[in-house]
Each structure stands twice: as C-alpha cells, then as structure tokens.
C-alpha cells in the first residue's frame, strides 16, 4: 500500500462521545499501525475497536463500547522492524521499496512524537555536559547540582535542602501544628488558647457576633483626682463605620461615701452612641441610673450615703463614623480625696460587632 507520508503528528486525542468514528490524519500502512487508549487503558484491536483506512492511508477508529466520559487517544504504533530482504539479482519491486521507505518515515515520525513528550533542554542551552537522570532513590527530588552541570537526587528531609525565605524556614522548622500556628499568629478552633490584644475575626458572617472579652487583671486605684481617666484594661478597637454593642460590669470601692464614683464611655469623633447605666451598693441600696448620647459624658456620678462598694453595669450601642479608634471606659472620684477609689480585679466587658 504505497501512500504519501505527510508531515503529521502521529498522535490525536478526543473527548469521547459515543463509539465514534474518531478520525486520524496521519497515514498508516496497516490497520495494526495505530494504538488506541481509553483514558490510560490500552485497548485491543478487533475486541475493543476496529480501524477503517482510506486510500491515502488516513482513517478512523470505531470503538465497541461508548467512550462518553473518557478521553480517546490514538497514537502511531508501527513495529520497529524490517522484514523485507532483497536478494542479489532478485526482484526490486516499486511497491515493495515504496512501502519500505514509507515505513522508515513513519518510524521516524513515531520517534519524533515520543521525543515531543519528553523533557528537553532548549536549543540555546549553555550546558556542556551530561543531563542524564541519576539512579532512582526513594523519597528524593531530582534537581541540578551545585554547579548547574548535571542532575542529582536531592533530599528534602532536613533543613537547608530547599531555598526558602527566612520566614518559611522558621515555619518549616516548627515541630507540630500548634507551633506553626504560633509562628503564623493564628488561633486554633479547638482546645483552650489565650488570645491577647484586640482581634477582628473574618469568616463566620464577616466576624459578626464573635465577642471581644476583656477583664481587669489587677485592682486599679486613683487618689486625689476628679478628672476622668482611661481604664487600664476595659477598652476595645472600633473601625470606621462599624456598629457594636457592649456591656461593662464593674465592682469598685472601698469607701465610696467618701470618694464617690463617676464613670463615662469615650468613642471616636463622629460616632453616634446610646449609653445606659445602673448601680447599687453592697448595702443593697439602689443608688441610681443614668443615660447619655455624648462621648465622655458621665453616666454615673454618685456619692452613696451607705455602703463601701458599688456594682456598676453599663450598656452601650455605638455606630462609628469615618474615624477609627477605641471605645474606652473612663472613671474618677467625685470628691477629690486621699482615700483611694479602686476598680476591682475581675471587673469586665464583653463587646460584639453587629454590623
């Protein structure tokens, strides 16, 4: 079967759709000169597919089963052999010699197709050496040696085997997930962990409803001052245009009939707020309540006649404007006195972002 062997890639692939036919444009001398794959599985001629050849050597494959959902790959597969032998003084048939020459070109094209799927150095490479693969070793990577002149097996089981940034080197050096989270400054979702500072959480409805919890870790006292001062512990950050609610529960003393107590909440400039309070003494007297819509205005200002300590509860709603900042509890004496006014350890606040 003498045909013209044109310049064609000896491989074609289709997304399967039924049994075909699936055409190919490279020329064959025999129907067995093509291999057919369903995904990665080599099919058997006759049992799994048939080949129809045209007069010019091109043709098509029809499969026995539907190829829908699979890739169909056809690739040249002529055997690398020469079985024709010319005897001295014997026939030199044109058809036979044409088939032989066609076979040579077909085999060269098959080799070209295989080489096209292999790793190759560029034509302009400056490498003047051997790029042969090293002997395989388990759990090793293949890379260039220190001079860039050959391939070697590379271990990645110890520090220094890969070029990474100093930060990633520190992370890779961590012995477990907990240590890695510490390096990243992340917080685990299980177990008990201590979080310091103000945290804004993403995820879970954009961080809404996840509380910021603060408590006074030690007593804090002020003497001889009726000027409102920031509390050392009870404060939280608020970004531009955020909306929050918060509650503060405070125990203070120790001789309020002398010092009195006043308290306020400050917010960033431009914020809108509503603040309410109530307080009572440890003698059981309901001393009073208050409310304001002004940042820094006293909502508690009392000198009880009885009781040495007072419990104060403050509720807050705040809608911030364009200026980020902090929401902070302030407090002071009502009557300037050398007797200390103390806000007690364990006093606390809980704040939730709601919009």
Locate the domains of the chain by residue range: 11-116, 128-144+151-191, 212-353
Tally of CB atoms within 10 A around 21:
15
Question: For 289-301, what is the mean pLDDT?
Answer: 91
For residue 18, pLDDT over 90 is answered with yes
User: Are 234 and 349 spatial neighbours (Cβ–Cβ below 8 Å)?
Assistant: yes
**3 state DSSP class of 123:** coil
pLDDT over 90, % of the chain: 55
Which pLDDT band holds residue 196 (cuts at 50, 70, 90)?
low
**How would residue 323 be classed by pLDDT, with cut points 50, 70 and 90?**
very high
Beta bridge pairs of residue 317? 245, 274
207, pLDDT greater than 90: no
Contact (CB, 8 A) for 76 and 116? no
Average pLDDT over every residue of 135-142: 87
Structure tokens at 324: 């980020």
Secondary structure of residue 286 in the 3-state scheme: strand
Does the predicted TM-score (pTM) go above 0.75?
A: no
Nearest to 256 by CA among 308, 332, 333: 308
Cα separations in angstroms, 107 against 53, 310, 330: 19, 98, 89
> Which two structure tokens, joined as six digits, stand for 318?
């705040």
Does pLDDT of 2 surpass 80? no
Mean predicted confidence (pLDDT) in 141-157 = 82
Three-state SS at 51 = strand
Contact indicator for 325, 267 with CB cutoff of 8 Å: yes
**Does residue 100 carry a pLDDT above 70?**
yes
Residue-wise pLDDT tens digits, 227-272: 999 999 999 999 999 999 999 999 998 888 889 899 999 999 999 9
Q: Across the chain, what does the average pLDDT equal? A: 87
Residue 204 has pLDDT above 60, yes or no: no
Which among 106, 84, 139 is positioned nearest to 6, based on CA atoms? 106
Tell me: cis bond preceding 336? Omega within 30 of 0 counts: no
- Given this model, what pLDDT does residue 158 score? 58
pLDDT for the residue 171 = 80
Q: Is the dihedral of CA 112, 113, 116, 118 positive or negative?
A: negative
Are 353 and 207 within 8 A, CB to CB?
yes
The residue with greater pLDDT, 77 or 123, is 77
Ramachandran assignment for 218, one of left (phi > 0), alpha (psi -120 to 50 degrees), beta (any other): beta
- Here the tokens at position 2 are 């003498």
As given in the structure block, the two tokens for residue 300 are 């508690």
Confidence at residue 192, expressed as pLDDT on a 0 to 100 scale: 58
Mean pLDDT of 280-291: 74
Q: What is the pLDDT of residue 139?
A: 81
Q: How far apart are CA 91 and CA 219, in angstroms?
A: 115
pLDDT the model gives residue 159: 54
Q: Please name the residue that has the structure tokens 């997304």.
A: 15
212-353: CATH topology is: Jelly Rolls (2.60.120)
Q: What is the pLDDT of residue 208?
A: 65
pLDDT over 70 at 157, yes or no: no
The predicted model gives 109-134 an average pLDDT of 87
Residue 163 pLDDT > 80: no
The total of other beta-carbon atoms located within 10 Å of residue 101's CB is 12
Residues 244 and 264: their CA atoms lie apart, in Å, by 17
Asked which of 206-210, 307-311, 322-326 is least confident by mean pLDDT, the reply is: 206-210
CA distance 285 to 268: 34
| Location of structure tokens 């150095």 | 121
């Amino acid at each position: 079967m003498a045909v013209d062997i044109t310049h064609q890639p000896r491989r074609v692939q289709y997304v399967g759709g039924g049994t075909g036919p699936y055409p190919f444009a490279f020329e064959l001398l025999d129907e067995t000169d093509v291999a057919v794959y369903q995904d990665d599985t080599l099919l058997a001629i006759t049992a799994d597919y048939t080949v129809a050849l045209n007069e010019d050597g091109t043709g098509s494959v029809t499969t026995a089963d539907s190829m829908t959902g699979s890739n169909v790959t056809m690739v040249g597969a002529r055997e690398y052999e020469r079985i024709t032998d010319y005897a001295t003084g014997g026939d030199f048939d044109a058809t036979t010699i044409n088939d032989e020459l066609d076979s040579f070109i077909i085999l060269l094209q098959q080799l070209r197709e295989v080489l096209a799927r292999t790793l190759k150095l560029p034509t302009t490479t400056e490498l003047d050496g051997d790029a042969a693969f090293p002997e395989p070793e388990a759990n090793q990577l293949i890379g260039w040696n220190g001079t860039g002149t050959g391939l070697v097996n590379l271990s990645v089981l110890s520090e220094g085997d890969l070029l990474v940034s100093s930060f990633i080197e520190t992370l890779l050096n961590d012995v477990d997930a907990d240590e890695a989270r510490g390096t990243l400054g992340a917080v685990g979702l299980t177990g008990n962990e201590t979080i310091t500072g103000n945290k804004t959480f993403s995820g879970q409805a954009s961080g809404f409803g996840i509380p910021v919890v603060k408590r006074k870790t030690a007593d804090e006292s002020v003497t001889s001052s009726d000027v409102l001062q920031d509390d050392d512990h009870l404060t939280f950050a608020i970004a531009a245009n955020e909306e929050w609610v918060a509650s503060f529960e405070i125990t203070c003393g120790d001789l309020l009939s002398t010092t009195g107590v006043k308290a306020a909440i400050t917010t960033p400039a431009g914020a809108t707020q509503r603040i309410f309070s109530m307080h009572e003494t440890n003698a059981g007297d309901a001393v009073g309540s208050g409310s304001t819509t002004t940042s820094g205005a006293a909502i508690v200002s009392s000198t009880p006649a009885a009781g040495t300590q007072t419990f104060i509860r403050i509720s807050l709603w705040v809608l911030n404007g364009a200026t980020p900042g902090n929401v902070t509890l302030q407090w002071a004496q009502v009557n300037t006195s050398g007797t200390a006014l103390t806000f007690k350890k364990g006093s606390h606040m809980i704040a939730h972002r709601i919009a």
